[in-house]
Structure 1
């Protein structure tokens, strides 16, 4: 795929036709090999015009979520290393976990067009129909203690909110720790899973699910009252590849900021989008229930809740409900 991707990039960058001779010289392969990769691109759904004495011109791209399209558009100079694309999987997080345990590097991406066993926090099912939404996971290997892993969830939710605002012209709020909301309804979620030793993270898997172009009738009945999609909020479809690439760019920015030790900037930007600060909340974790008013986050990303008795409680995990909703 690598050479075919380079041919695709060259066709994209060209203004009009690009000769087979130029492609051959630029990529260091024969003109016969160029023709072979042109045929492969056509088989993938690319419309490529060929004319004698002019060469090749890219006229159109596949309508579907093509792996070739994703690889060719991956941002350069970022943490992103490679892609594993599947038409249908159980869970992208499960695939990414297997890859990480096998030694896959930081920045490996797993993307699927459909999930049959997609999941969210607390073991909840994530409805993942084909061809309409975004489902992807990626591997991180940050040199951090396990106590800092919750901040990665906050970074991912912040990057996704910024990407959605830039691409879809909406402004999501973030419900601690991992849900993105539009009009009080869930439009996206983050699932972070880590493998760590006592004092150092071995790897982190970040899973992302976004309801992009899902229509209300495609949602299970029990989800319709509290879930939405970008299509439902905007009234028009959003390009999934454009949204994915915007997220990859924004997450890379925030991840580098965080690794430089600038966590306060991440927390400040997250707080600007908080859907819970100043709201009455209830957090349930195992057999404990905490009720009070959400005050914001501490330096490690834990939620601070002031109870009715005036006690400030630090919440690191749990199922949160905003009482006014």
Structure 2
């Protein structure tokens, strides 16, 4: 039995329930096979109501992104104007890098409804059921030296934070360097991968993952304490096309500011939206944990951390967590 056969059957019944027994008989498969295909359809973003002794009913289809609709909403000059929307990819980063090597222009955008191998920082995976989140990669060709690449990560974080905050009304903050949080839970991931030549950046693939309309049961249980969607946080669903258009416009405008005035305006904005600064945190920069108080960014994009002895250490890559609690006082 193919998913298309089951979907056609459910759609043909419109709003009526179809029992598992009837589906089995009509399609010539076992009840177990029916259940497995139902689960696969749900994973694809179809909403299917299951009621004991009644059966299954299709109540909603995944919302598919449409290239013409998205481009009609764009206010950008370059970002998103060369657009590739795919149903399934291994990773939007992989597709974009191939296009970049073939000479794709700056602003080329790849969006996928489903990634089979989507990835984030530190090799982590990203949860994004079809039709509910945004998984996209944007091509940049900045004329900057390799050592300034961290600035682009911070630029991406500011652009995403400002645009999503404006569109949703949520109190979104940036955890260093580029995680976006709502009330301490992550709603977005950013991954920059670059190609270099002679200590210059040839291009940068900016991967953006946004948890838009996910529900609690879309997340593995172990992630619910650390992750949340815009829908869960705001109590309402959002138009993914409008969000993408808003993100691209903010990103392009800030990128223009960066090229004209350098990193300083981006640094100020990042510090304004940061939830990392001026509190004691634990950091792991690859050589063991240490504690300190992040005070701000330096001119290259590194995080300046004040150490317990009063010294300052600048880091460019680290995991940040809560500091260890103080021991209970003994009477």
Q: Do both proteins adopt the same fold according to a TM-score greater than 0.5, normalized to the shorter chain? A: yes
Which category of TM-score, normalised to the shorter sequence, fits these structures?
0.7 to 0.9
After TM superposition, give the deviation of residue 79 of structure 1 in Å: 4.1
Number of aligned positions between the proteins: 264
**TM-score using structure 1 length:** 0.78
1:138-217 to structure 2, matched below 5 A, reads 138-217=138-217
**TM-score using structure 2 length:** 0.76
Q: Does 1:249 align with 2:245?
A: no
More off after superposition, 284-293 vs 176-185:
284-293
Counterparts of 2:187 and 2:282, CA distance in 1: 21
Does the 8 Å contact 2:78/2:106 carry over to 1?
no
SS at match of 1:212: coil
SS at match of 2:137: strand
Q: Which residue of 1 aligns with 2:72?
A: 72
Counterparts of 2:81 and 2:303, CA distance in 1: 33
Q: Which residue of 1 aligns with 2:238?
A: 238
1:84-103 to structure 2, matched below 5 A, reads 84-103=84-103
Q: Which residue of 2 aligns with 1:321?
A: 321
Counterparts of 1:241 and 1:150, CA distance in 2: 28
Counterparts of 1:151 and 1:242, CA distance in 2: 27
What's the CA shift string for 1:22-45, capped at 9, x where partnerless?
A: xxxxxxxxxxxxxxxxxxxxxxxx
After TM superposition, give the deviation of residue 198 of structure 1 in Å: 3.7
1:36-47 to structure 2, matched below 5 A, reads none
Q: Which residue of 1 aligns with 2:36?
A: none
Q: Which residue of 2 aligns with 1:127?
A: 127
Does the 8 Å contact 1:164/1:171 carry over to 2?
no
Q: Which residue of 2 aligns with 1:113?
A: 113
SS at match of 2:142: coil
Counterparts of 2:282 and 2:197, CA distance in 1: 32
Q: Which residue of 2 aligns with 1:276?
A: 276
Q: Does 1:300 align with 2:300?
A: yes
Counterparts of 2:134 and 2:157, CA distance in 1: 14
Q: Which residue of 2 aligns with 1:291?
A: 291
Gaps of 5+ in 2: 1-61, 326-331
